[in-house]
Amino acid sequence: MPAFDKFAYSDGRCYGMRTDELKSRGLTLPDPPATLQPREIDLLVDFLLARVVGKGAMDRARCVEYWGSEVEACAELRK
């Protein structure tokens, strides 16, 4: 996936194109996204285990609890 491989267009392995060809077409690539740090991964896993895994389908009450108030994203969920 080009967004995660800073060399994706350096040797033509991505769509047979190279960086200079992208530039000639006026195209640019964003910098690859940062990866999560081990501490951030631990926090994410803790959150998922506490609030998501094994808790069933999302409903409006859980959505409101997550966001702290009724938000547009919760409106389409059943009560």
Three-class secondary structure assignment of the chain = CHHHCCCCCCCCCECCECHHHHHHCCCCCCCCCCCCCHHHHHHHHHHHHHHCCCCCCCCHHHHHHHHCCCCHHHHCCCC
Q: What is the average pLDDT score of the chain? A: 85
List pLDDT tens digits, range 19-30: 888 889 888 777
Q: Give yes or no: residues 30 and 43 share one domain.
A: no
pLDDT on residue 22: 84
Q: Quick one: what percent of the chain has pLDDT higher than 70?
A: 94
Q: Give yes or no: residues 39 and 5 share one domain.
A: no
Q: How many Cβ atoms from other residues are within 10 Å of residue 74's Cβ? A: 19
Q: Give yes or no: residues 28 and 54 share one domain.
A: no
Lowest mean pLDDT across 27-31, 39-43, 53-57, 65-69: 27-31
pLDDT on residue 39: 96
Q: Give yes or no: residues 56 and 23 share one domain.
A: no
Domain that holds residue 19: 1-34
**CA distance linking residue 22 with residue 66, whole number of Å:** 43
In the chain, the number of structural domains is 2
